[in-house]
């Protein structure tokens, strides 16, 4: 008789115990799977958002950090110099300000006002309805804007609607409102579902802020070209403009991975370790209790000529069947839990709608299988050792007398 067949007969014989053990492993394994998805999901999702903008280099003022709000002076001149580099395909200036609606009918709403030197589609905005922004050449008239769905729903806006905007910072807030026409409704990669963001041209932003000489930018997005990629573009930009700092997407993700995402990675490691320990304790306890209840049966098998190795293999197969069945059930269960947890976490204020905390990847699946396999083997070690030392004669005598 094969050891696997004996193990299968045993788990079928004790169905209630097997079902409860499998459910326990499935619940614990689902938590383990979710923690493995969390360990790299946020970082991978953030990296994906950066790459989807089409730009792989970010340039900021050297006086600040990666996400510094220290403005870059003479930004248009610097952007033109960067675009002339053979390592660069294109560049876009971005300026981030605060503004307020001046509808008059209700309290003014605070909005994020983003100025760009390129169209919305070329700076990570996906058009849902209407038209994109025009390219911002010198002398562009009017104030065309793209609004997020949240703002469009709040103010009942449609393409063609007019929204008066005024500056909401310092003495500039006393400036008259500028009537802006809604060109379209669009999603921003880095906006949450409740963000009231407005994308417009640099000329329109300067009109709202009242600074005709405001040739500044908070960040310049650069798309590299050539074999050197982002690394070559970063080196070239640093050479011509030592007063700025250029970061590739990989640099930004690495810094966030070290700082911003450390908390989630630590949670993932701690909870993953706890779940592995609980799985080991659960399976080891169940196998040990089961083995102690079947010592007479095992002694009889040994007396009939079944070797120690085959008995040990039978116990190992029992552990594999329980952990394997629970591990398979853990995958869909963990997936459902991850979807719900991801929805809850993404609802937090300021979290981009397209950023995910749990992201499926093959490495997480492989690591999940490895950890559960190792747990199954280790959990079977004590019952195997127990049966290996089992005295056949005295055990059978005790079973008969008892």
Predicted local confidence at residue 399, as pLDDT: 64
Predicted local confidence at residue 159, as pLDDT: 92
Predicted local confidence at residue 146, as pLDDT: 93
Residue 147 phi/psi, 5-degree rounding, is -120, 150
Provide the β-strand partners of residue 31.
none
Pick the closest to residue 167 from 159, 175, 155 (CA basis): 175
Instruction: Give a three-class secondary structure readout of 375-389.
Output: HHHHHCHHHHHHHHC
| Residues 194, 109: Cα–Cα separation, whole Å | 13
- Cα 42 to the center of its chain, rounded Å: 2
Using DSSP's 3-state secondary structure scheme, residue 226 falls into coil
192-243, pLDDT tens digit by residue?
Answer: 777 889 999 988 888 888 875 678 888 999 999 988 889 999 999 989 888 8
Predicted local confidence at residue 331, as pLDDT: 92
Domain range list for the chain: 3-50+260-401, 63-242
Residue 121 phi/psi, 5-degree rounding, is -65, -25
Provide the β-strand partners of residue 197.
112
Look up residue 228 and give its two tokens: 């050197």
The secondary element (H helix, E strand) that includes residue 149 is helix 149-155
Predicted local confidence at residue 64, as pLDDT: 58
The whole-number mean pLDDT for each consecutive block of 10 residues of the chain, a chain of 402 residues, reads 76 83 89 85 82 87 64 88 91 89 72 88 86 68 86 90 82 73 89 84 86 79 89 91 88 78 76 85 84 78 79 85 90 92 82 82 88 88 82 72 62
For helices 381-388 and 262-293, angle between their N-to-C axes, nearest 10 degrees: 30
């Amino acid at each position: 008789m094969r050891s696997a067949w004996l193990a299968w007969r045993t788990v079928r014989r004790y169905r209630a115990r097997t079902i409860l053990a499998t459910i326990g492993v499935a619940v614990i394994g689902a938590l383990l799977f979710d923690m493995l998805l969390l360990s790299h999901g946020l970082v991978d999702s953030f990296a994906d958002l950066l790459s989807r903008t089409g730009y792989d280099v970010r340039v900021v003022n050297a006086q600040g950090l990666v996400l510094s709000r220290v403005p870059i002076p003479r930004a248009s001149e610097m952007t033109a110099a960067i675009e002339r580099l053979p390592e660069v395909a294109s560049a876009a200036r971005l300026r981030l300000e605060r503004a307020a609606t001046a509808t008059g009918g209700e309290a003014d709403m605070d909005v994020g006002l983003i100025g760009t030197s390129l169209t919305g589609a070329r700076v990570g905005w996906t058009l849902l309805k209407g038209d994109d922004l025009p390219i911002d050449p010198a002398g562009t008239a009017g104030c065309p804007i793209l609004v997020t769905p949240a703002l469009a729903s709040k103010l009942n806006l449609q393409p063609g609607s007019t929204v008066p905007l005024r500056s909401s910072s310092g003495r500039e807030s006393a400036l008259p409102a500028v009537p802006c026409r809604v060109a379209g409704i669009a999603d921003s990669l880095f906006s949450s579902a409740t963000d009231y963001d407005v994308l417009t041209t640099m000329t329109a932003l300067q009109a709202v802020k009242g600074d005709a000489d405001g040739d500044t930018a908070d960040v310049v997005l650069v798309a590299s070209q050539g074999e050197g990629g982002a690394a070559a573009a970063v080196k070239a930009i640093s050479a011509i403009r030592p007063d700025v700092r250029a970061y590739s997407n990989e640099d930004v993700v690495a810094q966030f991975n070290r700082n911003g995402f450390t908390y989630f990675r630590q949670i993932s490691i701690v909870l993953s370790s706890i779940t592995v320990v609980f799985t080991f304790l659960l399976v080891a306890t169940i196998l040990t209790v089961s083995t102690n209840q079947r010592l007479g049966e095992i002694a009889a098998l040994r007396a009939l000529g079944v070797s120690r190795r085959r008995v040990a293999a039978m116990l190992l197969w029992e552990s594999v069947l329980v952990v394997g069945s629970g591990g398979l059930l853990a995958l869909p269960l963990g997936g459902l839990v991850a979807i719900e947890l991801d929805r809850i976490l993404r609802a937090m204020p300021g979290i981009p709608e397209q950023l995910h905390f749990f992201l499926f990847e093959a490495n997480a699946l492989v690591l999940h299988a490895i950890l559960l396999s190792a747990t199954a083997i280790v959990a079977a070690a004590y019952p195997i050792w127990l049966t290996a030392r089992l005295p056949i004669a005295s055990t059978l005598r005790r079973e008969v007398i008892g």
